[in-house]
Amino acid sequence: VVSAASKWRAGARKKAMRRKLSDYLDQVKGNHDDVLDTVLRNISAWNFDVFEVAKLAPNAPLVFIGYMMYMSSNLSAAFRISDAKLLAFLTEVDRGYLQNPYHNRLHGTDVAHSMHHLLSSGGLSRHMTNWQHLAALTSALCHDLGHFALTNPFLTETHHEVALTYYNRSPLESMHISM
């Protein structure tokens, strides 16, 4: 049974998140009311539409959705991550994705949201420590950083600098994790 105090704390937490994201959205010139309503209402649902958020906030959907995933999972509180540090981290992750047709920031956001859903609504997080939950969500969010739309075999066969740097052993994955 959920107590009235728990409901009040959850409501206060949502208001604080909304205020912080609203301030951030003002900085990137987005239409923040629509974005915030969409993200706050559906963040843990499987049918959450990452692409809709991208239409509403084309400048930084990864930042908004990422912020809500960390906050709704209580990871920020568990690890004492300040809003400023979390937003700075997510902004850097957003910048690390290149503009290509598939392995872009929207793909990273979509994969991270799928992980968030499995962890929260799917019940997977009940069997994990906070560290494991943080690692799973952060890994999903960052899994294709810097991907420039070429395959590992192509990089290896052409003796690309990335393949040589990582000794032809999963060069793209090695590059992503080193970022």
* Active-site amino acid positions: 103
Tokens 């704390």 correspond to 9
Contacts (Cβ under 8 Å, ≥6 apart) of 2? none
Cβ–Cβ under 8 Å, residues 90 and 66: yes
Burial 54-73, CB ≥16 within 10 A → b, else e:
bebbeebbbbbbbbbbbbbb
Reading the block at residue 54, the tokens are 């991208």
What is the SS3 assignment for 96? helix
